[in-house]
Protein backbone atom coordinates (compact mmCIF):
# COMPACT_ATOMS: atom_id res chain seq x y z
CA UNK A 1 0.00 0.00 0.00
CA UNK A 2 1.30 3.42 -0.98
CA UNK A 3 1.84 5.95 1.82
CA UNK A 4 -0.46 8.95 1.72
CA UNK A 5 1.06 12.36 1.13
CA UNK A 6 0.78 14.53 4.23
CA UNK A 7 -0.20 18.19 4.01
CA UNK A 8 -0.67 20.82 6.70
CA UNK A 9 -3.65 23.13 6.42
CA UNK A 10 -3.81 26.48 8.20
CA UNK A 11 -7.21 28.16 8.42
CA UNK A 12 -7.81 31.75 9.56
CA UNK A 13 -11.50 32.50 10.04
CA UNK A 14 -11.83 36.16 10.87
CA UNK A 15 -14.79 38.45 11.28
CA UNK A 16 -15.14 39.03 7.53
CA UNK A 17 -12.93 36.54 5.66
CA UNK A 18 -11.72 32.96 5.55
CA UNK A 19 -8.10 32.37 4.57
CA UNK A 20 -6.65 28.91 3.97
CA UNK A 21 -3.13 27.82 3.16
CA UNK A 22 -2.00 24.28 2.35
CA UNK A 23 1.65 23.42 2.98
CA UNK A 24 3.61 20.45 1.69
CA UNK A 25 5.68 18.29 4.03
CA UNK A 26 8.64 20.66 3.48
CA UNK A 27 6.60 23.83 4.13
CA UNK A 28 6.05 24.88 0.52
CA UNK A 29 2.73 26.65 -0.17
CA UNK A 30 0.83 24.44 -2.59
CA UNK A 31 -2.58 26.13 -2.34
CA UNK A 32 -4.07 29.23 -0.78
CA UNK A 33 -7.50 30.85 -0.68
CA UNK A 34 -8.95 34.16 0.47
CA UNK A 35 -12.74 34.47 0.58
CA UNK A 36 -15.26 36.82 2.16
CA UNK A 37 -17.62 34.64 4.18
CA UNK A 38 -20.48 37.13 4.72
CA UNK A 39 -21.10 35.56 8.16
CA UNK A 40 -21.57 32.09 6.60
CA UNK A 41 -18.12 30.86 7.58
CA UNK A 42 -19.21 27.29 8.36
CA UNK A 43 -20.41 26.66 4.79
CA UNK A 44 -17.39 28.39 3.25
CA UNK A 45 -15.05 26.39 5.52
CA UNK A 46 -16.64 23.05 4.57
CA UNK A 47 -16.67 24.02 0.88
CA UNK A 48 -12.97 24.88 0.98
CA UNK A 49 -12.04 21.63 2.76
CA UNK A 50 -13.94 19.68 0.08
CA UNK A 51 -12.07 21.60 -2.64
CA UNK A 52 -8.74 20.77 -1.00
CA UNK A 53 -9.68 17.11 -0.62
CA UNK A 54 -10.50 16.99 -4.35
CA UNK A 55 -7.25 18.76 -5.29
CA UNK A 56 -5.11 16.39 -3.21
CA UNK A 57 -6.74 12.94 -3.44
CA UNK A 58 -5.33 10.06 -1.41
CA UNK A 59 -3.70 12.50 1.00
CA UNK A 60 -3.73 13.01 4.76
CA UNK A 61 -4.10 16.40 6.39
CA UNK A 62 -3.38 18.05 9.71
CA UNK A 63 -5.46 21.17 10.29
CA UNK A 64 -4.91 24.11 12.62
CA UNK A 65 -7.34 27.01 13.01
CA UNK A 66 -6.98 30.62 14.08
CA UNK A 67 -9.03 33.80 13.89
CA UNK A 68 -11.90 35.36 15.79
CA UNK A 69 -14.50 32.96 14.34
CA UNK A 70 -12.02 30.10 14.17
CA UNK A 71 -12.20 29.40 17.89
CA UNK A 72 -15.82 28.25 17.59
CA UNK A 73 -14.98 26.02 14.62
CA UNK A 74 -12.07 24.51 16.53
CA UNK A 75 -14.23 23.86 19.60
CA UNK A 76 -17.01 22.20 17.58
CA UNK A 77 -14.67 20.05 15.47
CA UNK A 78 -11.86 19.24 17.89
CA UNK A 79 -9.29 20.92 15.61
CA UNK A 80 -6.23 22.62 17.05
CA UNK A 81 -6.65 26.36 17.73
CA UNK A 82 -3.94 29.00 18.10
CA UNK A 83 -4.75 32.65 18.75
CA UNK A 84 -3.89 34.60 15.57
CA UNK A 85 -1.50 37.15 17.08
CA UNK A 86 0.39 34.36 18.89
CA UNK A 87 0.66 32.45 15.58
CA UNK A 88 1.92 35.55 13.75
CA UNK A 89 4.48 36.27 16.46
CA UNK A 90 5.85 32.72 16.21
CA UNK A 91 6.19 32.96 12.43
CA UNK A 92 8.02 36.27 12.71
CA UNK A 93 10.34 35.03 15.47
CA UNK A 94 11.20 31.86 13.53
CA UNK A 95 11.48 33.25 10.00
CA UNK A 96 12.04 37.00 10.23
CA UNK A 97 14.08 37.72 13.38
CA UNK A 98 15.10 41.15 12.05
CA UNK A 99 11.50 42.45 12.13
CA UNK A 100 10.94 45.11 14.80
CA UNK A 101 7.18 45.68 14.43
CA UNK A 102 4.13 43.95 13.03
CA UNK A 103 0.81 45.57 12.15
CA UNK A 104 -2.19 43.28 11.66
CA UNK A 105 -5.31 44.92 10.27
CA UNK A 106 -8.12 42.53 11.01
CA UNK A 107 -11.66 42.73 9.74
CA UNK A 108 -12.79 44.85 12.67
CA UNK A 109 -9.68 45.53 14.72
CA UNK A 110 -6.01 46.38 14.47
CA UNK A 111 -3.09 44.86 16.31
CA UNK A 112 0.50 46.08 16.65
CA UNK A 113 3.37 44.05 18.05
CA UNK A 114 6.80 45.46 18.85
CA UNK A 115 9.83 43.17 19.04
CA UNK A 116 12.99 43.76 21.06
CA UNK A 117 15.81 41.27 21.41
CA UNK A 118 15.67 39.20 24.61
CA UNK A 119 12.24 40.61 25.57
CA UNK A 120 8.69 39.36 25.26
CA UNK A 121 6.81 41.00 22.38
CA UNK A 122 4.85 44.13 23.31
CA UNK A 123 1.30 43.54 21.98
CA UNK A 124 -1.21 46.37 21.53
CA UNK A 125 -4.74 46.16 20.15
CA UNK A 126 -7.65 48.49 19.59
CA UNK A 127 -11.20 47.47 20.47
CA UNK A 128 -13.60 45.64 18.17
CA UNK A 129 -15.33 47.73 15.53
CA UNK A 130 -13.01 50.63 16.29
CA UNK A 131 -12.41 51.64 12.66
CA UNK A 132 -8.98 51.14 11.20
CA UNK A 133 -9.49 47.43 10.73
CA UNK A 134 -9.18 45.98 7.23
CA UNK A 135 -12.92 46.12 6.58
CA UNK A 136 -13.03 49.82 7.46
CA UNK A 137 -10.05 50.55 5.20
CA UNK A 138 -11.59 48.48 2.39
CA UNK A 139 -14.89 50.40 2.57
CA UNK A 140 -13.08 53.74 2.59
CA UNK A 141 -10.96 52.66 -0.39
CA UNK A 142 -14.12 51.78 -2.33
CA UNK A 143 -15.66 55.14 -1.43
CA UNK A 144 -12.54 56.96 -2.61
CA UNK A 145 -12.45 54.91 -5.82
CA UNK A 146 -16.06 55.85 -6.58
CA UNK A 147 -15.31 59.50 -5.82
CA UNK A 148 -12.20 59.43 -8.04
CA UNK A 149 -14.19 57.80 -10.87
CA UNK A 150 -16.97 60.40 -10.68
CA UNK A 151 -14.40 63.21 -10.74
CA UNK A 152 -12.81 61.79 -13.89
CA UNK A 153 -16.05 61.94 -15.91
Domain boundaries, given as residue ranges, for the chain: 1-82, 95-153
pTM for this model (two decimals):
0.75
Residue 56 has a CB neighbour count (10 Å cut-off) of 18
Per-position pLDDT tens, the chain of length 153: 566 899 999 999 988 889 999 999 999 999 999 998 988 989 999 999 999 999 999 999 999 999 888 999 999 999 999 998 899 999 999 999 999 999 887 767 778 899 998 999 999 877 655 555 566 666 656 666 654 444 444
Check: CATH 3.40.1160.10 for 1-82?
no
Amino acid sequence: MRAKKLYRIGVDVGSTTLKVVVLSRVGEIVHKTYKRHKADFNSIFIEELRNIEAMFPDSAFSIAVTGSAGMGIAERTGLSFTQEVVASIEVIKQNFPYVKAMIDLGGEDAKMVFFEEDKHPDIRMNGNCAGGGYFYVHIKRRCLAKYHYSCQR
